[in-house]
Structure 1
Amino acid sequence: MSNIKALPLLEPEVDQGVVPCCPPLTERPLTAEEAERTAAMFKALGDPVRLRLFSLVASHEGGEACVCDISDVGVSQPTVSHHLKKLKEAGLLSSERRGTWVYYRVEPSVMAAMGQMLTAAAPAA
């Protein structure tokens, strides 16, 4: 298992919130750092249980889900927690503890960044 900490898919930009780390893949080749960030995101989503958890959170009513509502994915609760931790480390989820429960959300900027990165550039006229 790698000890490399995943770099976030998004980078803070002064006075403008968050911006995607990487251009659309069709715009130009990625730098080594951009490729590391992108690979960390895809690696986190490359596990079927993680992809399912990400989908459950992203599609949950209100844009956030309590861990109690998404833990029935065919693995034990400790394994669910492990996978959610990996998604957080990759910058794909954020969380907030409320009493005994933890609520997870996919920030809209993460979804926008993923979509932008995978969008093909329009053909030149």
Structure 2
Amino acid sequence: MNTIKQFYNNFVNWLAGGYPLCFTYWITGVILNGMISLCLYAINYQIGHGTIELNTGEVIFFIIIFLKVVLVPLTLWAISMSIGNYEGFWVWRVLAILAVISGVFNYFSFCAEIIKAFVAV
């Protein structure tokens, strides 16, 4: 129970901007979301080329899409909260704000593509 409470406290602290901007941007923003995107590409490639069974690939694909749909807004929120608490050089703050704005547009584009894919089926 203590581990769950600690995870919850760390998660809330992350969302509140309690971690440094470099951590929230590079670790949770770039690396984690990049890994999820690469997994989506790899599963889509394997489904398209028949190297994975279609049912298994689709289940994994939907799980990864669900993770991306949930994780990206949380990450963008955490980065924006860390921007508010950042006290370093102002250029990094401006670049992070531009990255968050770009991430919001990319997220909406991703969601629109997912909706179009499901409507087309």
Is TM (by shorter chain) over 0.5? no
> Rg: which structure is higher?
2
TM-score of the superposed pair, with normalisation by structure 2 = 0.31
Structure with greater strand share of residues = 1
